[in-house]
Amino acid sequence: MFTRIHSLLLLALTLSTFLSGCLREKQPDRSAKVYIEHQDGKYTLVRNGKPYSIRGAGGESHFRKLREAGGNTLRTWDTTHLAQILDSAQMQGLAVIVGLPIPNSGDISFYNNPEITTTRYRALLSLIKRFRNHPAVLMWCLGNELDFPYKWTYGDFYDSFNELTDMIHREDPDHPVTTTILNFNPKYIFNIGLRCDIDVISFNIFSNLPLLRKDLDDLAWFWKGPYMLLEWGINGPWQGTEQTAWGAYIEDTSKKKADIYQERYRQHMPLADPRFLGACVFFWGNKQETTHTWFSIFDENGHASEAVGAMQDIWTGQSSPVTYPEIKYMLLNNQGARDNILLNPSASASAEVLLFKGHDRIRSIRWQVFREDWYRENRINSTKKLLPITTAENSGQNLRLSFSVPQEEGPYRLFATIYDHAGNFASCNTPFYVVSPP
């Protein structure tokens, strides 16, 4: 019994020693523009000779708004319009974590083809050489939410990944290299430490953020390296989100989302952890993902929601001077989203939006009906831009709508977007299902 315990302890000690040296746990080059300092158990990101704590957002627009709200970093996912993004960020005093997209490890046909991987290598080599001296570059993020499986059949993926990280470290020693994994995955962390060479691990983590501190503690016996959160925010529809009887995901109002950003950051962000380098909120812009409003902190025309004010409070410690519209909820035929609203084709329906306060500041309200597409090919993470089948505009004095229900059976969603006189907006939506009577 003693021998077995002794062997296990020896194995644990060996793994701990080995893994602590795998994630580029090396003496930093203090002449580099950006490096990670490790002293007395604390990791510090150093940029241009000064400590740099990431107050970031994922996106590629609204640079001035980010700076004014107290943010200092943008995170991108690809290199589209990279020159323009870096130049715009530099003008606003922002740094950029540049995303370098590569296929996931499961794309065996890609990584088993030397001609394709060589083409990708040369393209990224050219890009690194072109932008490595741009003053807005903070670091490189190779891949997004990659899987790092254990099986040696994925050797070609690891070979290609390591060729790229080696190339980046060689061609640009001034900027660290990271990659992101979805949530906190001990197996992936183990395999990164065992088979890869990056400077810092990054997590994309949403509903699991409250579990992060315990997860870090549980894994500290063999990994105590630095980390960042490159996506965090409200819950996505993929986990812990209420659904209607037909599977439509129920989306929070913009007011509720702003409250969640603040609550989640203050209660669960590991701010006191000496290994934590910072985080990027998701999503600083407008994007279609399940709906066009789910993650969007701005609307399609660049107007700001209350989440901007929430992030300003978080980043600066001072409440935003802006007062945003605050939606309490929407009623459709006097029912809420959790009531599983069923409507007959071409029937008359009515809806209204109720506010917490600020009715006198409302300029207008826009109503739109969209047919859902989450149940088809694109599923919940649909990025396909949808077009409304009905749009109506009311003045701010009338927060009610009468409309005809679509004729075709199926799932739909009614959106309401409220604008104040300063151009700020609040949004909400309610799913409903059109079904013909028997």
Q: Could you give the domains of the chain?
A: 27-316 (3.20.20.80), 326-434 (2.60.40.1930)
| Whole-angstrom distance, CA of residue 387 vs CA of residue 370 | 7
Written as six digits, the tokens of 191 are 């395999």
The residue-averaged pLDDT of 4-33 equals: 57
pLDDT at 358: 67
Long-range contacts of 31-36 (CB under 8 A, 24+ apart): 32/173, 32/174, 32/175, 33/174, 33/175, 34/137, 34/138, 34/139, 34/174, 34/175, 34/176, 35/176, 36/176, 36/199, 36/200, 36/226, 36/277
pLDDT at 438: 80
More confident residue, 292 or 21: 292
Going by pLDDT thresholds of 50, 70 and 90, the confidence category of residue 29 is: confident
Q: Minimal CA–CA distance to 297: which of 289, 306, 288, 92?
A: 306
The residue-averaged pLDDT of 127-148 equals: 98
pLDDT at 160: 98
Q: Is 90 exceeded by the pLDDT of residue 57?
A: yes
Q: Is 90 exceeded by the pLDDT of residue 322?
A: yes
Helix (H) or strand (E) holding 34: strand 34-39
The residue-averaged pLDDT of 79-83 equals: 97
Q: Is 90 exceeded by the pLDDT of residue 1?
A: no
pLDDT at 2: 42
More confident residue, 382 or 238: 238
pLDDT at 377: 52
Q: Is 80 exceeded by the pLDDT of residue 66?
A: yes
pLDDT at 239: 77
Q: Give me the chain's average pLDDT, please.
A: 92
pLDDT at 20: 45
261-299 residue pLDDT tens:
999 999 999 999 999 999 999 999 999 998 999 999 999
pLDDT at 152: 86
The residue-averaged pLDDT of 254-260 equals: 98
Residue 133's φ and ψ, nearest 5 degrees, are -100, 5
What whole-number percentage of the chain has pLDDT above 90?
A: 84
Question: Token pair 């009614």 is at which residue?
Answer: 414
179-220 residue pLDDT tens:
999 999 999 999 999 999 999 999 999 999 999 999 999 999
Q: Is 50 exceeded by the pLDDT of residue 6?
A: no
The residue-averaged pLDDT of 322-346 equals: 97
Q: Is 70 exceeded by the pLDDT of residue 22?
A: no
Contact criterion met (CB below 8 Å) for 93 and 67: yes
Q: Is 80 exceeded by the pLDDT of residue 7?
A: no
